[in-house]
Amino acid sequence: MARAHKLPSGNWRCMADITINGKRVRKSFTAPSKREAELMAAEFIHEGAQIGADCLVKHALDNYITNRTNTISPSTVRTYRQYQNNYYSSVENFRVSTITSEDLQRFVNSIAADHSPKTVRNIYGLLASSIRATAPNKTITVNLPQKQQYEYHIPTDADVKLLLSEADDLLRLAILLTSIGTMRRGEICALEYSDINGRSIHVHRDKVRKPGGGWIIKDMPKTSGSDRYIEYPQQVIDAIGTGNGLIIDISPDAVTSRFQKLKKRLGIKCRFHDLRHYAASIMHAIGVPDQYIMEVGGWSSDAVLKAVYRNVLDDKQREFTDRRNMYFEDNFFE
């Protein structure tokens, strides 16, 4: 709610801001009392909301993204703008006040024909959030495609050793940092020599794509737990060496591209990001508590870990099976 402040004249002034059809409207209201000034501003905001609810969907989308540009990550803004430019042409000229659940269901059905359930949910999520932000009292109900369970391709010990032996020096270092310490590719590309103290590495920056293209390094981590310290084996610290500035001065996409070429040549299926899951699986297999694994990896919940554990490493599965059978053989059979 807009709040009034007292002027030297003794009157009260209240400022009100609203966005209508993509344009910011700011108006000042002055009255003899605080209550009157705030009431006038509140009426203006209410009337503006009514007008806003009658705006076009394309304006609602633009307002929603613009109003959040300074509070969400640059990569998220960039994704929203891509969605805005590529997916909403069939509904963008509907009015928010008149668009129906049936209209939105047809939209969902059309994009579901050639997009994954996750992508459909993301595209519709932005649209629905924009509509709700513009018309909070509007009720919309849509059936979305069921989520697909991701099939993790977690590499084996042998896979990781082969990747390390065949990678160039820069990619080898990136593989070590993620397969042992669970670092994300953006964190790796934002890492500086000054972040190393002994065997401890301070992870507190991320390299992300800007909305208009290109890359920036931001201090805000992906999640609140992403600002963390990871202790590595001395061999990894030695491999990093000493210097100034960025340790791996390439973009996250360049890391992925180099890794894709290497894994294709070696016939290995996993993504670079799956090396993080490999590290988590190894820690789980040797009895490291989940809470510690979450802290090292910067995970805010154990949902990903549980999904990863369902796809435990093949060679570890064999080890567990042999250990189990050996126990029963020793205890139940002569």
pTM score over 0.75: no
Please tell me the predicted confidence (pLDDT) of residue 316. Answer: 64
Please tell me the predicted confidence (pLDDT) of residue 108. Answer: 95
Q: Quick one: what percent of the chain has pLDDT higher than 70?
A: 87
Please tell me the predicted confidence (pLDDT) of residue 247. Answer: 96
Please tell me the predicted confidence (pLDDT) of residue 280. Answer: 87
Region(s) of the chain under CATH 1.10.443.10: 157-319
Regions in the chain scoring below 70 on pLDDT: 1-2, 18-24, 46-53, 148-152, 220-224, 309-318, 320, 332-334
Please tell me the predicted confidence (pLDDT) of residue 238. Answer: 94
At the topology level of CATH, where does 57-134 sit? DNA polymerase; domain 1 (1.10.150)
- Domain spanning 157-319: which superfamily? Intergrase catalytic core (1.10.443.10)
pLDDT tens-digit readout, 230-247: 999 999 999 999 999 999
Please tell me the predicted confidence (pLDDT) of residue 317. Answer: 64
Please tell me the predicted confidence (pLDDT) of residue 150. Answer: 63
Please tell me the predicted confidence (pLDDT) of residue 19. Answer: 62
Region(s) of the chain under CATH 1.10.150.130: 57-134
Please tell me the predicted confidence (pLDDT) of residue 39. Answer: 86
Please tell me the predicted confidence (pLDDT) of residue 46. Answer: 64
In angstroms, the CA 1 to CA 50 distance is 16
